[in-house]
Amino acid sequence: MLASSAVLRLYSHTLPLEIQLIRVRMDTNQQQHDEYELVMELSEKDTLFEKKKKLLEVKGFDPNGKVMIKSNCSVEMLNSVFEEMIQRARIIHSDEVDLYFGWIDAAHPVGFCSQRNELESLYSILSLVNKSKSNDQQYQPKVFQDLRTATLDLIHKFGDNIKEDVKLLASQNLDKEKHLLQWGESNGIKSRLNIANIEGAGRGAIASEDLEVGDIALEIPVSVIISEDVVRKTSMFPILEKIEGISSETMLLLWSMKEKHDINSRFKTYFDSLPETFNTGLNFGIEAIMTLEGTLLLEEIVQAKEHLRSQYDDLIPSLCKNYPDIFPPELYTWEEFLWACELWYSNSMKIMYSDGKLKICLVPIAGFLNHSISPHVMHYGRVDSTTNSLKFPLVRQCKAGEQCYLTYGNLSSSHLITFYGFLPKGDNPYDVIPLDFDLSEVDNTDDTRHMSNWSTHMVRATWLSNNHGIFHYGLPTPLLEHLREARGLFSQSSITTQEKLEIELEILEDLQSTFDAMMQNLGESETEPLVRENCDWDVKLALDYKDFQRRIISSIVNSCYTGRQLVEIDLQKCTSSG
C-alpha cells in the first residue's frame, strides 16, 4: 500500500457552473391583466446568501426576487423596472471582492462593481427575458422584447468600450495547431474560431466571423474530452485505485505523463500541439525568484513547488520501483511530473456532466482561449444533455479577427502567474492585499451600519474606487469601519466632531506607515526598459509583477496622504471655530 498522502491539489479553471439564479413566473390571471411577475431569485445555496439578502433588503428589494411589470407600461416605467433588474442582478452575481469593495447603501443605486459582475448581470437578465413567453409559447410580449433590446444595447455598449489591438505573428509555424483543428473537426468539434500566434499573448483563439451575444463559439463532444474515464480503461488504474486517498486528478496527471509519449494514443494530435515547456511561475529560475523578494508571489511559488515536490517524492518513486513496466522511470522524472502539473493547472476545466458528476477535464482546442477580465465566454462548465456536448456561448459580441477570451475564474495576478504564466491586461479587481488584524476584541454583531460583518480585511489599488472624499479616501469601507470600531469610535455616544477627526487622522497615519513599509520591502525599480526587454521571460515577468505591486501600494500610500490632508483641513476648521 502506498502513502495515503498521494493527493495532488489541482487549480483548474474555477468557473461558477451555469446555475440558474433567475427565473420567470407568469400565470394565466396575470396575463389576463397584462401583468407579469419576474422572479430574480437569490439561491439559498449561495455562500454569500446572508450578505446579499441584507443588501437586497437595504435597497428595498424583495429578497424573494419578485419584479412586477405590465405589458402596457410607459417608457419611464419600463426604464425603472430595467434599472431595478440591473441593480438586483449586480447584487445576486457579486462575489466576496465585489461586496467588500462595493459600498452599497439605501441612498445610492447599486453601481458598477466589476467587469465580470456587469457582464454576468446583463447576460443573466438577457437569459431571463429570452425565456419569457406567454403560456402558449408562441410569442413574446412586447414588454419583454423591449427589455431584451435594452439589455443587448447595454451589452453592445460594454463590448464596444473594450478596445484591443491584435497583432498576429505570421512567421510562427502553426502546423500542429492546424492538425489539431482538423482532428477536432473529424471528431465532431464545431468551431467558429481560428488559432493564431498573438504578440504578447502566445497562442490564442481568433473569431473567424462576427459572433453575436448567445452565439456558440465552440462546441466540443463529450467523446473527445479527457476525463477520469480514460484512466479507468488503462492498465495503471487497478494499481492506482488501491492507493488510499488518491484523487482522480492525480490519476489523470500520471496518465498524461505516459500518454504524451504513446505514438498510438487516440489523443496524440492533442499532445503534439502542447508546448514542450510551460512558462509558468512553477518554472521560474533562481534570478526570477530573487527578483520577487518582498512580494506575496514569491511565497506562493515557493509553497506550490514545495507541495509538488513533496507529492512527487511520496508517490512516483514507489510506483516506478514496484511497477516499472506500467510506470517506466524514464517517463516519470521530476521534470516530466512538473510538466504534467503545469498542463493540468493551466488547461484543466471543471465540467458538470449530464449525470450530475463534476469532473476535472482537459478539453482539446478550448485550451487555446486565453483569459481576460472582460471575457466573451463565461459559462462553459456544464454538458448540454440534449447534444451531449460542451458549449461555449458568448456573453458579449466578438467581431471577426478579434481574440475571443474566456475567464479562468476570479483569480489574482499572483495566482495567474504561478499556475498560468501571465500577467493579465487591465485592472484586475482581484489583485488584493490581505491584511492581518486581531478581530477578537471587536464585537460588531449588532452593528447595522455595515451591510455585513467581515472576518477578514483587504485592500487593492485605490484608483479602482470612485469615492476619494473625506471618510472614504478610495479605501474599502469595511476596513475603515473596522479600524474606527477598534478605536472605540462607535461605542462613545458623546464623542465630539474634533475627536472623531483626530481618530480618523490616527487611522490614516497608521495605514500610511504600514504601506510605506511594504513599499520599502519591494525596493526601487532599477531595471531600464531596454535592459528589461533583454531579460529572460521569467525575470521580465517577475519585474513586471513587482512594478505592478509598487503601483498598487503607491496608490494606497497616496490615498492615505491625501486623506490626511482632507481631515487636517476639517480639524483646522474645528479648532478655529472652537
For the chain, what is the mean pLDDT? 88
CB under 8 Å to 93, separation ≥6 — which residues?
21, 117, 120, 121, 124
**What distances in angstroms separate CA 564 from CA 433, 470, 485, 509, one per listed residue?**
22, 9, 19, 7
User: Is residue 567 scored above 60 in pLDDT?
Assistant: yes
**DSSP structural state of residue 172:** S
Q: Rounded distance, CA 126 to CA 150, Å?
A: 9
Q: Rounded distance, CA 91 to CA 95, Å?
A: 9
Structural domain 175-419, CATH architecture: Alpha-Beta Complex (3.90)
* Nearest C-alpha neighbor of 503 from the set 478, 480, 474: 480
β-strands 193-198, 348-352 pairing: unpaired
Question: What integer is the mean pLDDT of 164-170?
Answer: 83
Environment class of residue 205 by beta-carbon count within 10 Å: exposed (0-12), middle (13-18) or buried (19+)?
buried
At 9 the pLDDT is 41
Q: Which of 165-174, 341-350, 458-467 has the lowest mean pLDDT?
A: 165-174
At 2 the pLDDT is 39
At 34 the pLDDT is 73
The crossing angle, in degrees rounded to 10, of helices 497-522 and 477-486 is: 120
List the grid coordinates of 118.
456587469
At 447 the pLDDT is 47
Tens-place pLDDT, residues 125-145? 999 988 875 444 556 788 889
User: Is residue 3 scored above 80 in pLDDT?
Assistant: no
Tens-place pLDDT, residues 8-36? 444 444 443 333 333 344 444 444 457 78
* Nearest C-alpha neighbor of 300 from the set 386, 396, 412, 185: 412
At 175 the pLDDT is 93
Other residues' Cβ atoms within 10 Å of the Cβ of residue 172: 12
- For residue 469, how far is the Cα from the chain centroid? 29
At 29 the pLDDT is 46
* Nearest C-alpha neighbor of 150 from the set 120, 134, 119, 126: 126
Give the 3-state secondary structure of 22-57. EEEECCHHHHHCCEEEEEECCCCCCCCHHHHHHHHH
List the grid coordinates of 39.
422572479
* 70 or 340, higher pLDDT: 340
Q: How far apart are the first and last CA of the chain?
A: 80
* 362 or 530, higher pLDDT: 362
Q: Rounded distance, CA 472 to CA 10, Å?
A: 39
At 240 the pLDDT is 97
Tens-place pLDDT, residues 519-566? 999 988 766 665 677 889 999 999 999 999 999 999 999 999 999 999
At 492 the pLDDT is 67
Instruction: Give the burial string for 363-392 (b: 16+ CB within 10 Å, else e).
Output: bbbbbbbbbbbbbbbbbbbbbeeeeebbbb
* 420 or 201, higher pLDDT: 420
Q: How much is the pTM?
A: 0.89
Other residues' Cβ atoms within 10 Å of the Cβ of residue 80: 13
Instruction: Give the burial string for 432-468 (b: 16+ CB within 10 Å, else e).
Output: bbeeeeebeebebeeeeebbebbeebbbbbbeebeee
At 143 the pLDDT is 87
Identify whether the C-beta of residue 413 lies closer than 8 Å to the C-beta of residue 420.
Answer: no
Tens-place pLDDT, residues 203-242? 999 999 999 999 999 999 999 999 999 999 999 999 999 9
Tens-place pLDDT, residues 262-308? 999 999 999 999 999 999 999 999 999 999 999 999 999 999 999 99
* Domain boundaries, given as residue ranges, for the chain: 22-92+114-160, 175-419, 433-577
